[in-house]
Amino acid sequence: MKEKISIEEFDNKKFKIRFVEEDDNRKAILTHYLHNYRNGVKKHYEKDAIEYLNQIVEYKNHEEKLNLVSDVALQQLLLKLKMYLFQLLKITLLNLLIYLQELVVLDLHCKI
């Protein structure tokens, strides 16, 4: 929960104003659920993540006149996550290969 306290002056009187804002961790829950979809940890996040995903789908269907289905939306999110992780792995492996090539070149220069 976030809390802000502000002191305002009005008509020569000081007022203490307290704003309380509830933390919204639903995006984090959905992300953790997606990252752990293939292991047992997903069960910890599943109920809240599915509920939030259903809220998103309902909102999108209403606001943007779409006809999304929660199960399909979940599968699309999982596919996007797989593609993102694959790209990340590909970049990491490419960087590792470049680094290894640089080490080989350095080693060759040291032997000359």
Q: Which residues contact 69 (CB under 8 A, 6 or more apart)?
A: 57
17-38 per-position pLDDT tens digit: 777 666 678 888 888 888 888 8
Instruction: Annotate the chain with three-state secondary structure.
Output: CEEEEEEEEECCEEEEEEEEECCCCHHHHHHHHHHCCCCCCHHHHHHHHHHHHHHHHHHHHHHCCCCCCHHHHHHHHHHHHHHHHHHHHHHHHHHHHHHHHHHHHHHHHHHC
Residue 10 within any structural domain of the chain: no
Q: What is the mean pLDDT of residues 84-103?
A: 78
50 belongs to a structural domain: yes
Q: Is residue 17 assigned to a domain?
A: no
Answering whether pTM is above 0.75, one says: no
Question: What's the Cα-to-Cα distance from 97 to each of 42, 67, 88, 93, 111, rounded to whole Å?
Answer: 34, 45, 14, 6, 21
Q: Is residue 9 part of a domain?
A: no
Mean pLDDT of the chain: 78
- 1 part of a folded domain: no
Q: Is residue 66 part of a domain?
A: yes
Q: What residue numbers bound the domain in which 38 lies? A: 24-111
Q: Give domain status of residue 6, yes or no.
A: no
User: Is the residue at 77 inside a domain?
Assistant: yes
Number of domains observed in the structure of the chain: 1
Average pLDDT over residues 76-86: 77
